[in-house]
A = this chain, B = another copy of it.
Amino acid sequence: MNRYLRAKQVLKERGILMTPQRDLVLRQALTFLHFTAEQLVHSVQAANPGISRASVYRTLGLLSEAGLVEKHDFLYGPPNYEVTFGKPHHDHLMCIHCGEIIEFQEPRWEALQEEVVQRFGYQLRSHTHKLYGVCANCRRLEPKTRRRLPPKLHVEQVVA
């Protein structure tokens, strides 16, 4: 059974009504690896222009609540969504020049996290771990020819 059908199953189990609009939003979201909300709006409206922005956002919210979709605030570029349903847990590495996003797993982190959190008497619920760097390809290119990502004012501290 593919992700689409399994996702529909999850929504059904949660008692979320599947309307044609929601179905289309889900199907379009599944065509992306990572997407912005407005990209999703465009792709949904390309397939059916009658569907409103509000419905797309509402459905995105529904999918998030159901744990099928995650939002990512990367330091560079606009907020970004991902259908995580059916994918193993992973963190992200982004190239600050070309915007490439790499998903990776690093089990050794997870153990360390538990340790840190317990040190403070906390119970871990979730985490976000994002790495930013320059990919090999962008390093090869001259600075002039690099496409800088849409500027975003605040830049996180540079790691030595």
Contact = CB atoms under 8 A, between A and B. Distances in A.
A73 to B, nearest CB: 4
Interface stretch (A15-23, A38-46, A48-56, A60-68): A60-68
Question: At the interface, is chain A mostly helix, strand, loop or mixed?
Answer: mixed
Interface of A: 60-61, 64-65, 67, 69-71, 73, 75, 81, 84, 89, 93, 95-96, 102, 104, 106, 108-110, 112-113, 116-117, 119-136, 139, 153-160
Nearest to A96: B125
Q: Which 4 A-B pairs have the closest CB atoms?
A: A71-B154, A121-B136, A73-B73, A122-B133
A116 B96 contact: no
Nearest to A90: B157
